[in-house]
């Protein structure tokens, strides 16, 4: 079945038929297609374009299809059709006969597919927010359980200053909370109705677009028919939000890959999320995290491919836009799975406080604190920096830490060296407590951040449960 046969006498090349079909992908939208069509038929009846009896038959037919799809979501799989809209009309014709031909009065697949894609993006943004909430819950649970373990904080992956493990975890909490907000923005942008735009210029039938928008749960009616039939900015935004989620996941995965290597040994993955080697019996590899990192690359690629698709398209609809579905579905599926997997990895992660704490005595993590202490005694920071730098070089050359220093030796580099400075040098915990600034790593600050995070996450969970 074709929706556009009249103009043509020759047949399409079967290769081109296959090349241009989208049903294998967009059949996922079948429930949306039925829902939009049902609301639209009712609107046509209100506008007296359809007789009440015709509208009733069409709605009954669409409802029947809807029940069949609900019973068997894979019903359409393997069937041939140009796209989901063609398939639905063909099925409807089989059930209600010729009156099905009235279904597409005053509408086009251009405003139809745009409407369904808007609905899909709104739903999938919600789903992704739910998956993010699961991960946020897992990270926060870890933070609550292990808030006060001290570990090295890194810059350039070189030991920098001691931080609390709770503080470290909350950094990812912040990233993923921003992702939740970004998806909320996506939902907001997608929350407008294309139907009524027709193929490009609007419709000659007196459709009440506001009523139709309400019926389909849209907040607004799209303002320009040319724009809305060819606009996929909202898809690009969702793909961008997906890409940032994956970049955040990928950074987190990378951290854990490093931290689970025996040289660090801060964490150990549960067996359920690691794999072995076919050759080396001792291996336990963090493949779950590596694949999250790897799939981030594909998601980023889909975003750039999609942006390239939009570039230079003349107004209004162009068939190129059909390529949106592949990127959209695949990205959303992958990101949702990656988030749920990450949440499970986090929930089952074994933490090794001893390893973290042991490593805080290497790498001269308290060097900044020594310099700061000298500043408090009136030494200019530049001079303090120089003195402590020389002390560090001396220790490093003889493979020692601050703990191994004797006072006389330290005094050669830091003339004001005394018991207090020694205490500063050998206590990474106290170094964290000193960073008692809003957003800093001091235990009091981290406890406050955890309490705030708990409140925000609980509110989000309540909102998502509605």
Nearer to ligand ARG, 103 or 113 (CB): 113
Q: What is the rounded CA–CA span in Å between residue 24 and residue 52? A: 34
Applying CB under 6 A, the span of 87-95, 277-285, 317-325, 442-450 interacting with ligand ARG comes to 317-325
Nearer to ligand ARG, 200 or 274 (CB): 200
Shortest distance in whole angstroms from residue 260 CB to ligand ARG = 44
The answer to whether residue 113 forms part of the interface with ligand ARG (CB under 6 A) is yes
Nearer to ligand ARG, 21 or 254 (CB): 21
For residue 244, what is the enclosing H or E element? helix 233-259
For residue 454, what is the enclosing H or E element? helix 443-465
Binder of ligand ARG out of 22, 37, 331, 441 (CB under 6 A): 22
The answer to whether residue 109 forms part of the interface with ligand ARG (CB under 6 A) is yes
* Active-site pick, 20, 53, 261, 277: 277
Active site (annotated) includes residue 156? yes
H-state helical runs in 262-323: 287-310
Number of CB atoms found within 10 A of residue 357's CB: 17
What angle, rounded to 10 degrees, do the helices at 52-71 and 84-96 form?
120
Q: Which residue is associated with the tokens 């040994």?
A: 265
The answer to whether residue 225 forms part of the interface with ligand ARG (CB under 6 A) is no
Applying CB under 6 A, the span of 158-166, 190-198, 244-252, 313-321 interacting with ligand ARG comes to 313-321
Beta bridge partners of 77: none
The answer to whether residue 110 forms part of the interface with ligand ARG (CB under 6 A) is yes
- Residues 438, 440, 441, 443, Cα dihedral to 10°: -10
The answer to whether residue 349 forms part of the interface with ligand ARG (CB under 6 A) is no
* Active-site pick, 156, 278, 398, 399: 156
The answer to whether residue 229 forms part of the interface with ligand ARG (CB under 6 A) is no
The answer to whether residue 83 forms part of the interface with ligand ARG (CB under 6 A) is yes
Shortest distance in whole angstroms from residue 66 CB to ligand ARG = 20
Q: Which residue is associated with the tokens 């109705």?
A: 193
User: Residues 6 or more apart from 423 whose CB is under 8 A from it?
Assistant: 430
Nearer to ligand ARG, 113 or 296 (CB): 113
Binder of ligand ARG out of 91, 161, 322, 360 (CB under 6 A): 322
DSSP secondary structure letter of residue 82: S
Number of residues lying near ligand ARG (CB under 6 A): 10
The answer to whether residue 183 forms part of the interface with ligand ARG (CB under 6 A) is no
Applying CB under 6 A, the span of 105-113, 189-197, 352-360, 373-381 interacting with ligand ARG comes to 105-113
Shortest distance in whole angstroms from residue 316 CB to ligand ARG = 10
The answer to whether residue 331 forms part of the interface with ligand ARG (CB under 6 A) is no
Q: Integer distance in angstroms from the first to the last C-alpha of the chain?
A: 41
**Angle, CA of 129, 350 and 287, to the nearest 5°:** 65
Beta bridge partners of 161: 153
Shortest distance in whole angstroms from residue 234 CB to ligand ARG = 15
Binder of ligand ARG out of 321, 356, 365, 367 (CB under 6 A): 321
The answer to whether residue 466 forms part of the interface with ligand ARG (CB under 6 A) is no
Q: What is the rounded CA–CA span in Å between residue 257 and residue 255? A: 5
Nearer to ligand ARG, 152 or 198 (CB): 198
Active site (annotated) includes residue 385? no
Q: What is the rounded CA–CA span in Å between residue 420 and residue 426? A: 10
The answer to whether residue 179 forms part of the interface with ligand ARG (CB under 6 A) is no
Nearer to ligand ARG, 40 or 317 (CB): 317
Q: Residue 29 half-sphere exposure, CB side, CA atoms within 13 Å?
A: 31
345 three-state secondary structure: helix
Alpha carbon of 35 to those of 5, 59, 61, 65, 418: distances in Å? 26, 10, 12, 11, 77
Q: What is the rounded CA–CA span in Å between residue 387 and residue 411? A: 10
The answer to whether residue 319 forms part of the interface with ligand ARG (CB under 6 A) is yes
Pairing type for strands 158-164 and 192-193 reads unpaired
Positions marked catalytic = 156, 277
Judged by the rule CB under 6 A, the positions of this chain that interact with ligand ARG are: 22, 26, 83, 109-110, 113, 317, 319, 321-322
């Amino acid at each position: 079945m074709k929706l556009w046969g009249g103009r043509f006498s020759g047949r399409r090349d079967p290769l081109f038929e296959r090349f241009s079909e989208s049903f294998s992908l967009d059949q996922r939208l079948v429930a949306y297609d039925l829902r939009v069509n049902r609301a639209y038929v009712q609107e046509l009846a209100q506008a007296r374009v359809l007789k009440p009896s015709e509208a009733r038959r069409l709605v009954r037919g669409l409802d029947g299809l809807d029940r069949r799809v609900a019973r068997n979501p894979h019903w359409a799989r393997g069937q041939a059709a140009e796209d989901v809209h063609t398939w639905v009309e063909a099925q409807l014709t089989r059930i209600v006969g010729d009156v099905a031909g009235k279904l597409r009065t005053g509408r086009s697949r251009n405003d139809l597919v745009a409407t369904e894609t808007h609905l899909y993006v709104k739903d999938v943004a919600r789903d992704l927010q739910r998956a993010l909430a699961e991960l946020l819950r897992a990270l926060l649970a870890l933070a609550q359980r292990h808030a006060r373990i001290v570990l090295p904080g890194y810059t350039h992956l070189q030991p920098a200053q001691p931080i609390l493990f709770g503080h470290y975890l909350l950094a990812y909490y912040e990233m993923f909370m921003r992702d939740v907000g970004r998806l909320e923005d996506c939902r907001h942008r997608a929350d407008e109705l294309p139907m009524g735009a027709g193929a490009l210029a609007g419709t000659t039938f007196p459709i009440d677009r506001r009523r139709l928008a309400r019926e389909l749960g849209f907040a607004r009616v799209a303002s320009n028919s040319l724009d809305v039939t060819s606009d996929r900015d909202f898809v690009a935004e969702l793909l961008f939000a997906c890409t940032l989620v994956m970049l955040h996941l990928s950074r987190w995965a990378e951290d854990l890959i490093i931290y689970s290597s025996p040289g660090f040994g801060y964490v150990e993955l549960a067996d359920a999320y690691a794999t072995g080697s076919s050759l080396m019996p001792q291996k336990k590899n963090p493949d779950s995290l590596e694949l999250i990192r790897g799939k981030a690359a594909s998601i980023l690629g889909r975003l750039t491919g999609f942006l390239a698709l939009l570039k230079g398209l003349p107004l209004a609809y162009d068939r190129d836009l059909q390529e949106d579905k592949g990127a959209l579905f695949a990205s959303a599926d992958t990101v949702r799975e990656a988030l749920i997997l990450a949440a499970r990895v986090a929930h089952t992660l074994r933490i090794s406080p001893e390893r973290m704490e042991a490593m805080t005595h290497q790498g001269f993590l308290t060097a900044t604190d020594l310099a700061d202490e000298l500043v408090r005694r009136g030494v200019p920071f530049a001079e303090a920096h120089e003195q402590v730098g020389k002390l560090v070089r001396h220790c490093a050359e003889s493979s020692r830490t601050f703990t191994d220093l004797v006072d006389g030796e330290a005094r050669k580099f830091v003339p004001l060296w005394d018991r207090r400075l020694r205490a500063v040098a050998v206590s990474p915990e106290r170094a964290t407590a000193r960073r008692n600034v809003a957003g800093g790593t001091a235990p009091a600050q981290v406890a406050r951040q955890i309490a705030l995070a708990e409140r925000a996450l609980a509110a989000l969970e309540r909102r998502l449960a509605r």
